[in-house]
Amino acid sequence: MEKSTRYGQIQEDLKKKIQQGSYEVGDLLPSENELCAAYHVTRTTARKALQELQNEGYITRQHGKGSIVSERRNTLGLLTVRGFSETVGHEVRNVMISKPSIHDWSRDFSFSPSEKEVVSKCIHFSRLRCVGTTPVMLEESWLAADCVPSFMEQEFVDGSFFKTLSKRYMIEITGSEQEIRAVRADENVGILLHVAAKSPVLYIAVRYTTSLPGYYVYSKLYCNTDKYPIGNVYSSPK
C-alpha cells in the first residue's frame, strides 16, 4: 500500500485526512510551504502531491489562496481509474456472477484486442456490484491469460481485482479509455440490476491500460443510475 515516492506518501497522507474528516469541505489544506516544512521536501515535491489530489478531484486550487477541499458526492466515480470499492465510500458488496474462466475473445466490442492478445487465451468473469442491498452495476471483464498465471485457481486479494493484479502480478492500472452510451437493458441485465427489461441503463465500455505495454484489461459495465449516478470530476491543472 505504501507508495514508494515522497509525493505519493504525502498524497496518500492528505487523502486519508480528508476522508477521515480532519479537513472538512471548503477547508484549506496546509500551504505548499507548510507541507515542505512538515515533510522535509522541496516545493516541487509538495506541489506534485497536491496536483495529484486535484486530478483525483479531492481538492481545487486557487491562485493566491490555497488548496480547497472539494465536495464529495454520492456518485460512482469510476470515470477515473480508481476501482469501484475505493471510490464508493459506503458498504459495497460484490457478487461474483460467473467465476473467472477461459473464454474466446468476443467479437462485438468497442475496442479491438491487439494482435498479441488474440493469440493468447482469454479470461472472462462478471460481477454484480451492490451498494448496500441495491445492485447498481453489472461488470464483465476480459483479460489475456498469459500474463496472469494461475489467475483462476486463486481468490481475489481483498475481493478487489485491481489489487490482485497489483499484488500478485505487479501489474498496475495506468489509465483508461471509455465509451459511454445509454441503452435498453436486455432481459438478463434487467433481472440482475432489478430494473424492468428495456428500461434505460448506462453502458460503459472500458479499456484499461496497464504498466505492461500492449497489455489491456477490457470491461463492459451496465449501470442502474436511478439512485447512484456516475460521477466525474475534472480540474485542468493549469
Partner DNA sequence: AATCTTTACTTGTACATACAAGTTTCTATG
Partner DNA sequence: CATAGAAACTTGTATGTACAAGTAAAGATT
Give the interface with its own copies as residue ranges (CB under 8 A): 8, 51-52, 55, 57, 60, 62, 65, 73, 75, 79-81, 110, 173-184, 199-203, 205, 209, 213, 223, 225-226, 229-238
210 bridge partner residues? 173
- HSE-up of 176 (CA within 13 Å, CB side)? 19
Q: Please, what is the minimum distance in Å from the beta carbon of residue 2 to DNA?
A: 12
107 binds DNA (CB under 7 A): no
Q: Please, what is the minimum distance in Å from the beta carbon of residue 235 to its own copies?
A: 4
Residue closer to DNA by CB (options 165, 204) is: 165
- HSE-up of 132 (CA within 13 Å, CB side)? 3
Q: Please, what is the minimum distance in Å from the beta carbon of residue 93 to DNA?
A: 33
Contact residue for DNA among 18, 41, 201, 206 (CB under 7 A): 41
- Calpha distance 76→73 (Å, rounded): 9
122 with 147: CB under 8 angstroms?
A: no
Q: Please, what is the minimum distance in Å from the beta carbon of residue 197 to its own copies?
A: 12
Kindly provide the residue ranges of all beta strands, DSSP E only, lying in 9-159, ordered along the sequence: 59-62, 66-69, 92-103, 122-131, 134-144
141 with 152: CB under 8 angstroms?
A: no
Residue closer to DNA by CB (options 21, 237) is: 237
47 binds, among its own copies, DNA, none (CB under 5 to 8 A by kind): DNA
